[in-house]
């Protein structure tokens, strides 16, 4: 017997899965470069959010056309992957359609896969048309050039090819075509191959089978480099997302301690600082990706660049530099760069760059109205606003680099308890006016 096919397949499987595991490790290492934040509370609500938002796609359908097409692709993707189990077993053991002993049930199963594959093909073609022909504006913002644009198209092409190969593989399997129930779509492709010899048809079937599974392994390993990572990260991302009211911005604990000390009448102003002398004082806010917490970094890897946030951002709508999507994309680019730096040098070697300044400009940061539209819109609960706020904190507290008008407003608050220059003693004057 000839075992070359099986051995080749086993190697393919090990390499494909091996590289994927390596990518997942790298991804996890990079996310853990972020600061710690406790999101272990309230697990019941977290599971519920994951079930509703990631699994149930509840926020996707708020834009119904894209939402429903997305559900078709997503549900089909998960279901069709059952077929991959059969492909792997066939590949390893040299069997052919090992599950076909299930009889009528197998027919129904593959039959539904065919219908789903066809629906995916149609949906993906509509996605392509929306992007390339209708040119929906959120796909054409200025951050969507070069790689981000090609990445989006690559994914669509990948899916088109994989689905077509699956259908061709079934159409060129004469034995399978006699099952009747299993081929609701592929039966219409059979006539395409009517002029071919039996041998050629077998060759086409074998090629489609191999290219299909190789394609799946390539796609699996493409994920790490792509916006498509959301198919995995949407789940932890919705689980660990902020559960508080959107208007609540966290209170910095380090600041609380200092303010309490300042306001404590019993505090000894000459007391020596209790802290370890070598401890570096905590940095306020964020200027680089590693100043962000791991949830914010996971947000960046989860972003699939759909642009719903940017299309609803009041600053972006009115032509400002700020785009919440670009904030997420730049954060990912920078943490990737830091990760690559660590891979190369064993530990992070100062590269003279920062997320704030080299990637994200203060102009973007100051254009935000903190309206939470981006947070509300995100189908997987990404929070661009929290990154913007952390950068404002860095600019205001570490650099004293808030815009001049804001400095005036803050001086007024300090001096007279209002953002404008009115005496606190006049606060009740309205009563008699």
Site residues (vs another protein, CB under 8 A): 244-249, 251-252, 255-256, 258-260, 262-263, 284-285, 312, 314-315, 317-322, 363, 366-373, 375-376, 389, 391-397, 402-403, 405-406, 408-410, 413-414, 417-420, 422, 424-431, 433
**Residue 64 C-beta: closest distance to another protein, Å:** 13
CB of 57 to another protein, least distance (A): 17
Query: In whole angstroms, what is the distance from residue 40 CA to residue 32 CA?
Result: 16
| Choice between 159 and 383, CB closer to another protein | 383
Residue closer to another protein (CB basis): 332 or 392: 392
Q: How far apart are CA 410 and CA 388, in angstroms?
A: 19
Instruction: Please tell me what DSSP assigns to residue 262.
Output: H
Minimum separation from the CB atom of position 184 to another protein (A): 40
| Cβ distance to another protein smaller for residue 216 or 389 | 389
Contact of 354 with 384, CB cutoff 8 Å: no
Minimum CB separation of residue 294 from another protein in Å reads: 21
Cβ distance to another protein smaller for residue 81 or 260: 260
Q: Where are the alpha helices (DSSP H) in 133-240?
A: 146-171, 174-177, 198-222, 230-239
Q: How far is the CB of 366 from another protein (least distance, A)?
A: 6
Tell me the C-alpha to C-alpha distance, in Å, between residue 278 and each of 117, 219, 273, 398.
Answer: 61, 48, 12, 20
Minimum Å distance from CB 390 to another protein? 9
CA-to-CA distance for 224 and 336, rounded, in angstroms? 11
8 Å CB contact between 85 and 216? no
Q: Which is nearer to another protein, 23 or 412 (CB)?
A: 412
Q: Which is nearer to another protein, 279 or 428 (CB)?
A: 428
Quote the least distance from Cβ 59 to another protein, whole Å: 10
How many angstroms separate the CA atoms of 71 and 425, rounded? Answer: 60
Span between the terminal Cα atoms of the chain, in Å: 101
Sign, Cα dihedral of 398, 400, 403, 408: positive
H or E segment to which residue 338 belongs: helix 324-345
Pick the closer one to another protein by CB: 45 or 426: 426
């Amino acid at each position: 017997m000839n075992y070359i096919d099986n051995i080749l397949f086993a190697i393919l499987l090990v390499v494909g899965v091996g590289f994927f595991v390596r990518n997942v490790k790298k991804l996890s290492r990079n996310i853990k470069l972020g600061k710690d934040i406790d999101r272990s509370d309230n697990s019941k609500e977290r599971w519920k959010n994951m079930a509703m938002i990631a699994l149930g796609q509840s926020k996707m359908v708020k834009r119904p056309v894209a939402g429903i097409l997305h559900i078709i692709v997503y549900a089909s993707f998960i279901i069709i992957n059952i077929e991959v189990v059969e492909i792997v077993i066939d590949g390893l053991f040299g069997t052919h359609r090992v599950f076909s002993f299930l009889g009528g049930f197998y027919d129904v199963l593959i039959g539904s896969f065919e219908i789903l594959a066809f629906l995916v093909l149609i949906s993906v073609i509509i996605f392509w048309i929306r992007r390339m022909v209708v040119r929906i504006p959120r796909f054409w913002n200025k951050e969507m050039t070069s790689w981000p644009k090609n990445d989006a198209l690559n994914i669509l092409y990948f899916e088109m090819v994989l689905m077509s190969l699956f259908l061709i593989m079934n159409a060129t399997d004469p034995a399978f075509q006699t099952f009747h129930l299993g081929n609701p779509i592929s039966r219409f492709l059979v006539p395409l191959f009517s002029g071919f010899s039996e041998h050629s048809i077998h060759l086409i079937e074998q090629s489609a089978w191999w290219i299909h599974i190789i394609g799946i392994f390539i796609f699996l390993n493409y994920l790490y480099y792509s916006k498509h990572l959301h198919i995995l990260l949407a789940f932890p991302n919705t689980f660990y997302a902020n559960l508080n009211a959107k208007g609540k911005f966290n209170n910095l604990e380090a600041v609380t301690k200092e303010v309490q000390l300042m306001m404590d009448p019993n505090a000894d102003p000459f007391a020596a600082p209790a802290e370890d002398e070598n401890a570096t004082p905590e940095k306020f806010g964020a200027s680089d990706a590693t100043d962000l917490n791991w949830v914010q970094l996971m947000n960046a890897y989860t972003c699939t660049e759909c642009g719903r946030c940017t299309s609803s951002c009041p600053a972006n709508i009115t032509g400002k530099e700020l785009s919440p999507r670009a904030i997420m994309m730049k954060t990912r680019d920078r943490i990737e760069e830091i990760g690559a730096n660590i891979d190369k040098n064993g530990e992070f070697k100062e590269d003279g760059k920062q997320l704030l300044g080299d990637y994200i400009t203060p102009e973007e940061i100051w254009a935000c109205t903190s309206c939470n539209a981006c947070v509300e819109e995100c189908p997987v609960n990404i929070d661009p606003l929290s990154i913007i706020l952390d950068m404002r904190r860095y600019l205001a507290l570490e650099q004293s680099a808030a815009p001049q008008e804001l400095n005036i407003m803050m001086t007024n608050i300090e001096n007279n308890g209002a953002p404008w220059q009115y005496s606190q003693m006049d606060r009740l004057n309205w009563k008699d006016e």
